[in-house]
Amino acid sequence: MNTPKTSSDESSNSFNDIIQLAENNTDEWWRYIDSQLPLLCNEPEVVARARDNILHKEEGLRDLAASILEASSISLTTLDTQNLKMLMKDQGYPWFRAACALAKRITEHDIAEIIGKEPIKEKLEYYTQDNNVSEIAKKYLHWL
């Protein structure tokens, strides 16, 4: 599916708005954020900011960063993989999104060997009981 291209300024402004919403970290705002990620997730500036914030102290920003890496079509770097592995030790949705990003790319950069499928499966299986993300978790479990 092709997404409409936006100008760099529009993307930056949209992404800044999304960062503010992620800091609020409410279910209502996350539905909106998730709907906007496909429009922004492959923009180089957005990917760079996600990489910079993957281990941020704010849970909402860690969640946003992992969600961007999950939604994007970029290849993960070794550092991305290591950071997502560290994030999987977190709690809540950041570790779920980290598991999704890794499951999506299980064949890249020896992710299965570096992390193993089982830790990723465990995180995803846990979230099959969460009504907000159960369908996403089941989709990625199918890939493993």
pLDDT tens digits for 94-124? 999 999 999 999 887 678 777 889 999 999 9
User: Which one has a higher pLDDT value, 6 or 50?
Assistant: 50
- Res 102: pLDDT: 95
pLDDT range class, residue 6, cuts 50, 70, 90: very low
Nearest Cα residue to 120 out of 140, 135, 139 = 140
- Res 111: pLDDT: 80
CA distances from 56 to 24, 35, 49, 86, 113 (A): 15, 23, 11, 12, 26
Tens digits of residue pLDDT in 17-67: 777 777 766 677 778 888 888 989 999 999 999 999 999 999 989 999 999
Nearest Cα residue to 76 out of 94, 54, 57 = 54
pTM for the full predicted model: 0.82
